[in-house]
Chain A
């Protein structure tokens, strides 16, 4: 299976360009980009999430000062921000595909998608802001 040939193998064209030309054989719209985003964020999340969870196991029940000191140091602050961005980008693709599968009315789907995006953007923004506040105040 690993030897599957795609049109783009023999040319400098990337998959998305080829797909736009051969509409009958693949998505000519933005499905591929979303598919790739899910995989790229998944790859980024392997080290980022492992680092964050390993740190969390120490910190989850620690006191305020320890937690604030950890979050305000440069490396944990940077990696936490990257983790949160990758996490919510990954979550939005995954949760959206769940909605696409189970919400069958167009209006409800649109409402659910907008609500989901708004919620995730607020959560991601609040997380980044919280870390930035601690980092800038150090």
Chain B
């Protein structure tokens, strides 16, 4: 029997809604953060190894591409963090009313922008 398999719903049968968009974004940022954590491990190992390994890692992170990666990583982190708190609230049984779901969605987006700005503005101003 040909049964529909995930992710068959998203582009065809599903009307765009902020709630479902944020839901898939939670998973996508989670995957991105997991990939980013490989760079984190690499950095820790590079500090421990020192010398040339650290110099090469440092050059990569400080390059425009490295800084771009860090920036995207921080956006993904703050989004996943804020939306994760929303998930924990759902697990505790709160926030399922439609108005709360929409309010929470926009709150997460605003918080992501604010936290990312708070993190990067001091670095940028120096």
Residues of A within 8 A of B (CB): 1-4, 39, 42-43, 46, 49-50, 53-54, 57, 60-61, 63-64, 67-68, 71, 80, 84, 87-88, 91, 94-95, 98, 101-102, 104, 123-124, 126-127, 129-131, 133-134
Contacts and interface: CB of A to CB of B under 8 A. Distances in A.
A57 B74 CA distance: 10
B64 interface: no
Contacts of B34: 91, 94-95
A102 B7 contact: yes
A43 B55 CA distance: 35
Contact of B48 (A50, A101, A130): A130
A64 B118 CA distance: 26
A68 B50 contact: yes
Given A53-B77, A98-B31, A126 B94 contact: no
Given A1-B96, A39-B91, A123-B38, A71 B61 contact: no
Nearest to A135: B48
A38 to B, nearest CB: 9
B93 A64 contact: no
B45 A53 contact: no
B68 to A, nearest CB: 13
Given A49-B77, A64-B54, A102-B7, A133 B48 contact: yes
Nearest to B33: A91
A132 B6 CA distance: 42
A95 B27 CA distance: 9
A136 to B, nearest CB: 11
Residue of B7, B47, B88, B92 with highest tally of chain A CB at under 10 A: B47
